[in-house]
Structure 1
Amino acid sequence: MRAPVTILPLRVDGLDFSAGATRILTDVTLSVAAGPPTVIIGPNGAGKSVLLRLLHGLLAPTDGRIRWGDSAEATQRQAMVFQRPVLLRRSALANVLYPLRLAGLSAAERRRRAENALALVGLSALADRPARQLSGGEQQRLALARAAATRPEVLFLDEPCASLDPGATRAVEEIVARLAAAGTKIIMTTHDLGQARRLAGDVVFLHAGRVLEHAPAECFFAHPETEQAAVFLRGDLLPH
């Protein structure tokens, strides 16, 4: 039997990115495989969000290569949820239906997927509520539902809980864990080390635009190999 086509592993070779005269990422090289979530951490200004946008295709690298598995359709098989979700001035259900209509699915299939996605994130009862009237945590869960409904192989999450209270954060983490358990590869950034410990299968440590470590989460947190990572984990300030 022929193996299913996959966009993983994701390989990044010598990736550089500059904005004008400012170098943001330098010689980023890493490989991300299927499995538990890959969590990108590092101090503010390390380049975490920029790296995620490059991987998702929202930015073009200044130099280097991004290669996706054995599929030429990577852009159709990945999705991204931002720290502040951009929602349509429509109902929660309509927000989830919208990308499915763009994908050309039948009305019946769109409805089925959208309702399942809202159930996954616990928003079925709010399906008809205007999306922009939802709480911050509910809006983030809606953004996750909208992304999940498209069934991406890879889901990028950029600081998905940065502005949420502990209860809303816990709800989002539970959804992320369920998506990962169902086979979606999660690649996410976070400033929350506790969250990284709870969710990560492997950790990418980014500092001053460079990947200093990429290791299984248990190894990284127990025995960081670089002084910069050790300082960061202690909560001390890192020099730029």
Structure 2
Amino acid sequence: MKHDTHASESEDAPLLETERLTRLVDGTAVVDTVSVTVSRGEVLAVVGPSGAGKSSFLRLLNRLDEPSSGSVYVEGVDYRELSPRTLRQRIGLVPQQPSLVPGTVWENVVRGPTLRDEPVPEERTRELLERLDIADYEAKDVGDLSGGEAQRVALTRTLVNDPDAFLLDEPTSNLDAGTEAYVEALIREVVADFGIACVIVTHDPDQARRLADRVLSLEDGAVSDLGPAREVLSP
């Protein structure tokens, strides 16, 4: 799967960049002046205690929530210049609960182009289903899937949109250890092979060590540490 080159954007710019990104709720900063970059092929893990603002930060990255100040840049372009539909196609979010719609696996994974009234990329979709080891599940009802299968369907649904980055909110929190390891391996493969950026929120420092190139640690919405995973998460 190849990504289109956005000619108007700087090739030298990071895929994602936040600049003093802030969100206030009832006067309290749930995300407080966070500045960070994420490049293609990189995994950034966002860690911190409960209530630190991890999921709030993730939702700001594709404008599911609106920043109070600061901004996000996609390859050097302020994301307010992109339509929400284009932004969410390029920066896909996989929520903690897969949020599949009633129907078959196929209907779910092609939901993006279907909603946009675009042709379904059938060949690429089947390649992705094969890659994520759910090729035999096209006609299966999503109500009959295991947790790991549902998570792979959600990942496929996002990848069908040919994103530049994807955002993962606790993607393995409801999976057993074996399935967790399998999904983690898929995430690393997809990021490396497709050259996309990944931001993952996790409560598990060990998962962050396994997956992340760099770690952003939040506390009360603000950056408490940022750097290579081996340094930020050192014992």
Deviation digits for residues 177-222 of structure 1, max 9, x if unmatched? 1111111211111011111111101111111110121111223233
Separation in structure 1 between the aligned mates of residue 177 and residue 132 of structure 2, nearest angstrom: 16
* Residue of structure 1 equivalent to 2:166: 155
Q: CA deviation at 1:104?
A: 4.5
Q: Contact conserved, 2:94 with 2:167, CA < 8 A, in 1?
A: yes
* Structure 1 residues 18-33: aligned runs within 5 Å: 18-33=24-39
Length, aligned pairs only: 219
Separation in structure 2 between the aligned mates of residue 35 and residue 145 of structure 1, nearest angstrom: 18
* Residue of structure 2 equivalent to 1:101: 114
Q: CA deviation at 1:131?
A: 1.0
Q: Tell whether 2:210 aligns with 1:185.
A: no
Separation in structure 1 between the aligned mates of residue 54 and residue 122 of structure 2, nearest angstrom: 35
Q: Contact conserved, 1:117 with 1:146, CA < 8 A, in 2?
A: no
Separation in structure 1 between the aligned mates of residue 74 and residue 213 of structure 2, nearest angstrom: 20
Q: Secondary structure at the match of 2:51?
A: coil
* Structure 1 residues 191-202: aligned runs within 5 Å: 191-202=203-214
Deviation digits for residues 212-238 of structure 1, max 9, x if unmatched? 21111223233xxxxxxxxxx6xxxxx
Separation in structure 2 between the aligned mates of residue 103 and residue 171 of structure 1, nearest angstrom: 31
Letter in 1 for 2:5: P
Q: Tell whether 2:5 aligns with 1:4.
A: yes
Q: Contact conserved, 1:85 with 1:140, CA < 8 A, in 2?
A: yes
Q: CA deviation at 1:77?
A: 1.3
Q: Contact conserved, 1:120 with 1:145, CA < 8 A, in 2?
A: no
Q: Secondary structure at the match of 1:152?
A: coil
Q: Secondary structure at the match of 2:224?
A: strand
* Residue of structure 1 equivalent to 2:136: 125
Q: Contact conserved, 2:20 with 2:69, CA < 8 A, in 1?
A: yes
Separation in structure 2 between the aligned mates of residue 38 and residue 200 of structure 1, nearest angstrom: 5
Q: Contact conserved, 2:95 with 2:168, CA < 8 A, in 1?
A: yes
In the alignment, which of 105, 111, 114 is matched to residue 122 of structure 2? 111
Deviation digits for residues 120-170 of structure 1, max 9, x if unmatched? 211112211111221111111110011111110100001111111112211
| More moved, 3-12 vs 119-128 | 3-12
Separation in structure 1 between the aligned mates of residue 40 and residue 196 of structure 2, nearest angstrom: 8
| More moved, 200-209 vs 65-74 | 65-74
Q: Contact conserved, 2:49 with 2:203, CA < 8 A, in 1?
A: yes
* Residue of structure 2 equivalent to 1:64: 70
Q: Contact conserved, 2:30 with 2:53, CA < 8 A, in 1?
A: yes
Q: CA deviation at 1:36?
A: 2.2
Q: Secondary structure at the match of 2:171?
A: coil
Q: Which has the higher contact order (CA 8 A, sep 6+)?
A: 2
Identical columns (%): 31
Q: Contact conserved, 2:15 with 2:197, CA < 8 A, in 1?
A: no
Which runs of 5 or more structure 1 residues have no equivalent in the other structure?
A: 223-232, 234-240
Which runs of 5 or more structure 2 residues have no equivalent in the other structure?
A: none
Supply the RMSD in Å over aligned alpha carbons.
Answer: 2.0
Q: Contact conserved, 1:93 with 1:115, CA < 8 A, in 2?
A: no
Q: Contact conserved, 2:205 with 2:233, CA < 8 A, in 1?
A: no
Letter in 2 for 1:152: P
Separation in structure 2 between the aligned mates of residue 78 and residue 16 of structure 1, nearest angstrom: 19
Q: Tell whether 2:98 aligns with 1:92.
A: no
Q: Tell whether 2:154 aligns with 1:143.
A: yes
